[in-house]
Structure 1
Amino acid sequence: LRSGTGLVLACLGVCLGVTLAVDRSNFKTCEESSFCKRQRSIRPGLSPYRALLDSLQLGPDALTVHLINEVTKVVLVLELQGLQKNMTRIRIDELEPRRPRYRVPDVLVADPPTSRLSVSGRDDNSVELTVAEGPYKIILTARPFRLDLLEDRSLLLSVNARGLLDFEHQRRGEYQEPPTQGKAEKDEPGAWEETFKTHSDSKPYGPTSVGLDFSLPGMEHVYGIPEHADNLRLKVTEGGEPYRLYNLDVFQYELYNPMALYGSVPVLLAHSPHRDLGIFWLNAAETWVDISSNTAGKVSSGETPQTDVRWMSESGIIDVFLLLGPSVSDVFRQYASLTGTQALPPLFSLGYHQSRWNYRDEADVLEVDQGFDDHNLPCDVIWLDIEHADGKRYFTWDPSRFPQPLTMLEHLASKRRKLVAIVDPHIKVDSGYRVHEELQSRGLYVKTRDGSDYEGWCWPGAAGYPDFTNPTMRAWWANMFSFDNYEGSAPNLYVWNDMNEPSVFNGPEVTMLKDAQHYGGWEHRDVHNIYGFYVHMATADGLVLRSGGLERPFVLSRAFFAGSQRFGAVWTGDNTAEWDHLKISIPMCLSLGLVGLSFCGADVGGFFKNPEPELLVRWYQMGAYQPFFRAHAHLDTGRREPWLLPAQYHDIIRDALGQRYSLLPFWYTLFYQAHREGIPVMRPLWVHYPQDVTTFSIDDQFLLGDALLVHPVSDSGAHGVQVYLPGQGEVWYDIQSYQKHYGPQTLYLPVTLSSVSIHCRRGGTIIPRWMRVRRSSDCMKDDPITLFVALSPQGTAQGELFLDDGHTFNYETRHEFLLRRFSFSGNSLVSSSADPKGHFETPIWIERVVIIGAGKPASVVLQTKGSPESRLSFQHDPETSVLILRKPGVNVASDWSIHLR
């Protein structure tokens, strides 16, 4: 590594030791986080809070009522809203705060429309409220304060039923003044100043944490609150460490524990065979989540199962959305209506990405590019890490290694490929560096509590940190991506935001001091988890801006928050070339998909260490079936482009890449559905089989859409895998052999090294594919389509195909798209428009139709509007029951039908 000082080398050495696991002592436990310790010291019992029913006011959009802490006599205000689409919002703040408390902006796409509340019953200690939309009631109990949400007479969820509401009121205005509220408050350890290792947090406004509990009767399975390297189903944490949400740069993270990682999405989903619910805790401060269950560790208790969830945040207000389902699809839509859906990615970004830290120079990039062509391997994007920039000054190019970036980009463009360059949010402190000089002169850096520019250590050495919470700063940053400002950039250059937790090598827990100052006078503790969200937002805005608003951006971000799905892709961070890291990528991406972030992947091959050939092959086979497909590696690892493996592995990796590219029409359609409806691309089995209890804890296999079941091979030397096929009476087809299996059952399926995962096509689905794999997705976008029709036991199937130009917003602004629906029933396959608003001219035609599970017809005829029937040639295999119809020759945009007679 190049660096300017020995201190940088020392800091980097701590962070980069590739032979050691993460040093957990560098990161806090709940016991070492004073607010978590204080919150957790409160045990379940009667709440000290009472609702003052005489203060209740009911307006057209909300109910407000005061809550008094009968110990401290501090008064809070509760605001309760019924929202349309079966949601409820609860906000709690101080009635008379010494200074305003932070309310998270910019995450919600709009103020959610309300559903009027009305009083339907009342007594001395409670008020019954009816929600205008839906069969919901809310019971507000005064002493002790509690909320119960019911559907008809069934209790769905209770708030503060365990009495764990705790709202630390602001007790003084200035750090210099000692607390005066009495011994109990004065003696709270870490309340007024906190030290971790050598770092001191001044806490000028004193303790301001908030906590609240939610009880979920009938629920045993909860999911979400990423990012954690853990199983899909969340574990009971009482007696251990809570799940932590605090965006951190954790090198070589450990598996199967609740430590914080790079991103935080404070959304929890609860599932039972009869109901789905969600809790969205809108708070950007450090947060811990405790989970308890009355059935944990019990074989059979006879009790109605219940899961209790406790949220604890360091600052801000309580702002929580209750997503009432009733189905998981409803919960997905409800959350998407609040924070937005997954951005529709440009088609190229669904292809294969080749990366490492670092490709040395322009010649190296072009050699890698040519290597894909020489070995007949598809690739869409080559990536450049931090060494490409001049002394790690972002928005620049190293003049000795990359003297002609435009020529390099033009060469890649001639191959219809792209380049991604890293742009991190730490800016080298250098008086000759224009980016730094402008940020400094405009006052756009984060400040220390004494008002000077905050300075930390990162890759360039001494670095300033732009204040992305400032909209002026974000607009300035976005403008930096113009072709005039980012010299050497071109339309086929895209961006990677790393280290945006933010990472500060010499900071507490490798991040920023919590008393650093942001736009509006907010402390870093208030905004920490949303910092990376804003970096991602500003960068994506910049790529849109440079194209005049025409082109869809591609930006990969390591840090994220609720709503980050609107800006691009994320990945699971600095993983390791080990089999367990291969396995954990499945539940990590599934968890992200459940909370809106569908565009997820893991570094193929592992970032740290050198993978053995078998592991690297298996990782390619898995990565081909995860939404974001990128190989990446650490600076100290050996080169591992696919052709550098021994020759016996070349065809296997080529086949994995070919499977990915063949399925691009399917992937693109899934992403359009995610963009349109908020449903994840990569799904746990229970999403489609909500009453099959066997699926509730499965996280070594998954569904792509509702059509493909994927069970990767993730064990060294495996000769077979146990695959669970769900669905009572449903049929599943092996994608290679077309062998038919019925669900529900667990099958042992033999595998060889060339087995590209194990996945079966669900009967009743139709999948569009491109059958000619070319150098990049852009070279394939006008190729003909083959439809794979997998028949259900009832002889039916359906599917969709989305097409547009693959890169602009014209699908949205000018309705230039096609959404075709394919339906098979009664021995007829019909193509019709699924969205008549769309229109798009395309040369793409239907080349073949492969019908799996079909008998042999006497004849096959094609009908199109305004043309006579025409006979199609076909081929039928009686052993596999596969019928192949050749060259229907119809344009994919037209209405047509095929009839088996």
Structure 2
Amino acid sequence: MQITTSSGKYSVKHYPDVIKSWKKEGNYFYFYTTETILEVRVVSDKIIRFRYAADGKFQRDFSYGVTEKLEESPVDFGIREWEETFEIYTSAVRIFIARDNLRKTITDLEGRIINQDEMGFHWQYYLSKGGKIIYNTKLIQEGECFYGLGDKPTELNLRGKRVENYGTDAYGYLKDTDPLYRNIPFYYGLHHGIGYGIFFDNTFRTLFDFGKEREDVCSFWARGGEMNYYFIYGPELMQVAEAYTRITGSAELPPLWALGYHQCRWSYYPDTKVQEIAAQFRKRQIPCDALYLDIDYMEGFRCFTWSKEGFPEPEKFIKGLADDGYKMVVIIDPGIKSDPDYEIYQELIKNDFACKRADGAPMEGDVWPGKCVFPDFTDPKVRDWWAGLFRGLTEAGVRGVWNDMNEPAVFEIGSFPEDVRHDYDGEDVSHRKAHNVYGHLMSKATAAGLKKHLMPRRPFVITRSAYSGAQRWSSVWTGDNCSTWEHLWLASVQCQRLSVSGISFAGSDIGGFIGEPDGELYTRWIQLGAFHPLMRTHSASNETNFDQDPWSFGEEYEAIVKKFIQLRYSLLPYLYTTFWQYAAYGTPMLRPLAFVSQKDPNTHDRNHEFMMGDSLLISHVHEAGLKQKEVYLPEGNWYYYFNDKHFEGKQLITIDTPLEEMPLFVKAGAVVTHYPPMQYVGEKEFEEMILHVYFGEEVTHSILYEDAGDHYGYKNGQYNLVRFKQGSDKKQFRLKKKFVGRYNASYRNHHVFVHGLPFTPKEYVLDGVSHALKATDVKNGVVELVLERKFEELVIR
């Protein structure tokens, strides 16, 4: 024990002393000191959970973040005793636990340090609140970088920063504002080319310090709960990302339309205004799939109702839009208006489903409807009840739901007082423990309701607040941002950070929610948004009643915005394949350069460039009037998308940035799949799938995943995997294709474009049969061929 001062008051910090005994039970190891017990669970050879009982008694082993599908799969593990340490080993790592103080050192099999305790675990009583404050401190290794932790609006590398998780309605947040809406207690470390991750599964207010207080120490702590964290060894950062998703759960494939363009505003009102917006998209031939209704569609802001004046016939209204290809997404907040004549309120009170203050009275607070009560989403009975409420919306034709204000936000006081009680799946806890999962569980219940009532169609949910694992059922957006260039920059780093924090299905309010962008800012934001998994324009009401629509800024900007929304739709098969990789393997859709080329130190602090999927590298324009931009290209060879200019990687280049373009590069050797033009998903069946193939001398592999784009047939094998292998040289181009699957796609041909050939092509050989190339087959150095879908090998020489 050690006496320290805290806010002028003495408190006691407790540190583990000598190990007195130990035992092994299956893949669990227990080490006992005077006060503390350390539990080490070998989940797999690269995933180890460390859990501490501060005063000799473990708390309930329960998590809202860890998937029920997590399986233990160690291959080889055991324990050795040494004079000063215990050594737990697996086929990938070695964990040394000091006999005198439980401090741990984790190495690889060659003895290189991956992660090392400084003071390690310690704790103190939280005298003013109750319970304990639990700490863990670790040594920062030479040159170590840190990433992750969700939507923090700061540089990707967190070295030198301190951040906090406590879900907050951060309206109009700025760079370095903290905390924000989401609570993702997971970070990466990278040093000496070695990557690892730590997931601190604790729902109390958690804090992380990456060398801000002491430059050589990383620490994380919580104001309650248990020190319970998963250590994940890579050594590749992408392997860590995939393992983290194995722990917290994988996303399901969304309906394909959800990867299209979404248009939203606070608020389109009445129904005729929505119809007018919808008609403008089709008239101007700007693709769009989803239209949103904000809070004004309700009767007095009462959830699950429709305004009698503004939306008198919701079923007819939604069907009319659906006939023109639109899917309707509506907002639902947690606040239920305190109105004795309101059926949802009656049920909430009658069934005792509302959150309560410590004295037993319902938690009441002002939100949009006025005085409200709030469902306790930590109670499984409440979640089931909430899920059932969506039947009426889905019967009216609603295809998606947007959960907002669920940090939870309450006017004037910010959020719930800490004395509010929650069921917490049978544990009975205060809001201190439940706060960071309140919105997380609201969106879970929402998703369950939509999935049930939309079956067999797939649901779409978007939530503002979330905890680790929310990717299993929801997408997110970055919150109430501003129409500034700084926020455009923030949108890029926040979505990259969310992606490597397990939540790839994320986007920002394009153009900014607060304020009015000019045409240039909106256009540049659309260009970035075209490469975010969620692409949604959203804006607030304002004094000028300005509509932030793609045509709002004049013809010059509209043409460019249209071009990039069309590009988004043409890339849908590539984006959907990237989402399938994310759903199947946990692979982040957006990949910061440090995750693409971690052994290149030049990538470790790059914020502007990222990859979407395996083949596309993006570096958006983030300053007004920018004519040129420096872009760092990682190792490899790259083509500039708009003119096929070739660049070698591992260097900083300067690229022109005219308004009608953005820095967009394709990796050499890639096959990038495209759809023909469309106005919305499902508009028509395609006769061909377009393949843009980029010459590369290294053997490369690309993939196309395809299914019906909705319903769950893919879970019964109704999908196709088309694998491409390119192995070319300076004299000939060679592309092999392998098809596996049982989905009957509509197209019969591949329209193939081969870019970047270093020779003058004379003939092509298709499945062993030679054909002369006609002059019309080669345009501006690009070979263009229409081939039957069943082809297996194409050679050009």
Task: Give the TM-score category using the shorter length.
Answer: over 0.9
Q: In the alignment, which residue of structure 1 is the partner of 2:184?
A: 265
2:725 and 2:735 in contact (8 A); partners too: yes
Q: 2:620 aligns with which of 712, 725, 728?
A: 712
1:226 and 1:592 in contact (8 A); partners too: yes
CA displacement 1:279-324 (0-9 Å, x = unmatched):
000001111111118996xxxxxxxxxx632111111111100001
Tell me the distance in 1 between the aligned counterparts of 2:30 and 2:167: 33
Q: In the alignment, which residue of structure 2 is the partner of 1:18?
A: none
Task: State whether structure 2 residue 467 is matched by structure 1 residue 561.
Answer: yes
| Shift in alpha-carbon separation, 1:495–1:874, aligned structure 2, 3 A | farther
1:345 and 1:568 in contact (8 A); partners too: no
Q: In the alignment, which residue of structure 2 is the partner of 1:522?
A: 429
Tell me the distance in 1 between the aligned counterparts of 2:78 and 2:599: 35
1:81 and 1:117 in contact (8 A); partners too: no
SS at match of 1:643: coil
CA displacement 1:595-619 (0-9 Å, x = unmatched):
1110111101100001111111111
CA displacement 1:663-694 (0-9 Å, x = unmatched):
11111110001111111111111222121111
Question: By how many angstroms is 1:37 displaced?
Answer: 6.3
Aligned identity (percent) is: 27
Q: In the alignment, which residue of structure 1 is the partner of 2:369?
A: 460
Task: State whether structure 2 residue 79 is matched by structure 1 residue 126.
Answer: no
SS at match of 2:268: coil
2:53 and 2:59 in contact (8 A); partners too: no
Q: 1:815 aligns with which of 692, 717, 729?
A: 717
Q: In the alignment, which residue of structure 2 is the partner of 1:678?
A: 586
Tell me the distance in 2 between the aligned counterparts of 1:89 and 1:686: 26
Q: 1:226 aligns with which of 145, 150, 162?
A: 150
Question: By how many angstroms is 1:506 displaced?
Answer: 3.3
Tell me the distance in 1 between the aligned counterparts of 2:28 and 2:218: 25
CA displacement 1:545-590 (0-9 Å, x = unmatched):
0034x22210000011110111121111000000000011111111
Question: By how many angstroms is 1:101 displaced?
Answer: 6.2
Look up the equivalent residue of 1:806 and give its one-letter code: G
Task: State whether structure 2 residue 328 is matched by structure 1 residue 368.
Answer: no
Tell me the distance in 1 between the aligned counterparts of 2:294 and 2:575: 27
Task: State whether structure 2 residue 671 is matched by structure 1 residue 766.
Answer: yes
1:688 and 1:706 in contact (8 A); partners too: no
Task: State whether structure 2 residue 769 is matched by structure 1 residue 850.
Answer: no
CA displacement 1:109-164 (0-9 Å, x = unmatched):
335416375331233x5322223xx14222211323311112225243455x3325
Tell me the distance in 2 between the aligned counterparts of 1:273 and 1:739: 34
Q: In the alignment, which residue of structure 2 is the partner of 1:653?
A: 561
Mapping 1:510-549, distance limit 5 Å: 510-519=414-423, 520=426, 521-548=428-455
Tell me the distance in 2 between the aligned counterparts of 1:67 and 1:357: 58
Question: By how many angstroms is 1:790 displaced?
Answer: 0.8
Task: State whether structure 2 residue 208 is matched by structure 1 residue 289.
Answer: yes
Question: By how many angstroms is 1:404 displaced?
Answer: 0.7
Tell me the distance in 1 between the aligned counterparts of 2:415 and 2:54: 29
* Higher deviation after alignment, 687-696 or 855-864: 855-864
Q: 1:631 aligns with which of 537, 552, 567?
A: 537
Q: In the alignment, which residue of structure 1 is the partner of 2:782?
A: 882
Tell me the distance in 2 between the aligned counterparts of 1:312 and 1:832: 50
Task: State whether structure 2 residue 11 is matched by structure 1 residue 82.
Answer: no
Q: 1:831 aligns with which of 737, 756, 761?
A: 737
Q: In the alignment, which residue of structure 2 is the partner of 1:6?
A: none
Q: 1:687 aligns with which of 578, 584, 595?
A: 595
1:102 and 1:526 in contact (8 A); partners too: no
Task: State whether structure 2 residue 54 is matched by structure 1 residue 63.
Answer: no
Question: By how many angstroms is 1:733 displaced?
Answer: 1.1
Q: In the alignment, which residue of structure 2 is the partner of 1:589?
A: 495
1:480 and 1:542 in contact (8 A); partners too: yes
2:591 and 2:612 in contact (8 A); partners too: yes
Tell me the distance in 1 between the aligned counterparts of 2:708 and 2:280: 28
Tell me the distance in 2 between the aligned counterparts of 1:253 and 1:37: 30
Q: In the alignment, which residue of structure 2 is the partner of 1:480?
A: 389
Q: 2:514 aligns with which of 580, 602, 608?
A: 608
Mapping 1:317-332, distance limit 5 Å: 317-332=226-241
Task: State whether structure 2 residue 57 is matched by structure 1 residue 138.
Answer: no
Q: 2:123 aligns with which of 133, 145, 167?
A: 167
Structure ranking higher in strand proportion: 2
Task: State whether structure 2 residue 106 is matched by structure 1 residue 149.
Answer: yes
Tell me the distance in 2 between the aligned counterparts of 1:649 and 1:583: 20
2:365 and 2:371 in contact (8 A); partners too: yes
1:874 and 1:883 in contact (8 A); partners too: no
Task: State whether structure 2 residue 15 is matched by structure 1 residue 48.
Answer: yes
Task: State whether structure 2 residue 582 is matched by structure 1 residue 699.
Answer: no
Mapping 1:2-401, distance limit 5 Å: 48-54=15-21, 56-68=22-34, 75-95=35-55, 100=59, 103-105=62-64, 107-113=66-72, 115=74, 117-123=77-83, 125-131=84-90, 134-158=91-115, 161-163=117-119, 165-168=121-124, 191-193=126-128, 203=129, 206-237=130-161, 242-257=162-177, 259-292=178-211, 308-401=217-310
Question: By how many angstroms is 1:840 displaced?
Answer: 0.4
* Higher deviation after alignment, 326-335 or 580-589: 326-335
SS at match of 1:52: coil
Look up the equivalent residue of 2:515 and give its one-letter code: K
2:264 and 2:291 in contact (8 A); partners too: yes
Q: In the alignment, which residue of structure 2 is the partner of 1:800?
A: 703
Tell me the distance in 2 between the aligned counterparts of 1:803 and 1:713: 32
Q: In the alignment, which residue of structure 2 is the partner of 1:184?
A: none
Look up the equivalent residue of 1:779 and give its one-letter code: E
* Higher deviation after alignment, 642-651 or 215-224: 215-224
Q: TM-score, normalised by structure 2?
A: 0.94
| Shift in alpha-carbon separation, 1:293–1:460, aligned structure 2, 3 A | closer
Unaligned 5+ segments in structure 2 are: none
SS at match of 2:282: helix
| Shift in alpha-carbon separation, 1:234–1:622, aligned structure 2, 3 A | same
Question: By how many angstroms is 1:535 displaced?
Answer: 1.0
Tell me the distance in 2 between the aligned counterparts of 1:534 and 1:797: 42
* Higher deviation after alignment, 716-725 or 114-123: 114-123
Look up the equivalent residue of 2:670 and give its one-letter code: T
Look up the equivalent residue of 1:821 and give its one-letter code: R
Task: State whether structure 2 residue 579 is matched by structure 1 residue 579.
Answer: no
Task: State whether structure 2 residue 353 is matched by structure 1 residue 450.
Answer: no
Matched pairs, number? 783
Tell me the distance in 2 between the aligned counterparts of 1:375 and 1:848: 27
Question: By how many angstroms is 1:824 displaced?
Answer: 2.1
2:14 and 2:124 in contact (8 A); partners too: no
Look up the equivalent residue of 2:20 and give its one-letter code: L
Tell me the distance in 1 between the aligned counterparts of 2:17 and 2:56: 17
Question: By how many angstroms is 1:330 displaced?
Answer: 1.7
Tell me the distance in 1 between the aligned counterparts of 2:770 and 2:693: 22
Tell me the distance in 1 between the aligned counterparts of 2:364 and 2:444: 23
Q: In the alignment, which residue of structure 1 is the partner of 2:343?
A: 434
| Shift in alpha-carbon separation, 1:377–1:308, aligned structure 2, 3 A | same
Q: In the alignment, which residue of structure 2 is the partner of 1:23?
A: none
Unaligned 5+ segments in structure 1 are: 1-34, 69-74, 170-190, 194-202, 297-306
| Shift in alpha-carbon separation, 1:324–1:784, aligned structure 2, 3 A | same
2:39 and 2:51 in contact (8 A); partners too: yes
Look up the equivalent residue of 1:163 and give its one-letter code: M
Q: In the alignment, which residue of structure 2 is the partner of 1:22?
A: none
2:37 and 2:56 in contact (8 A); partners too: no
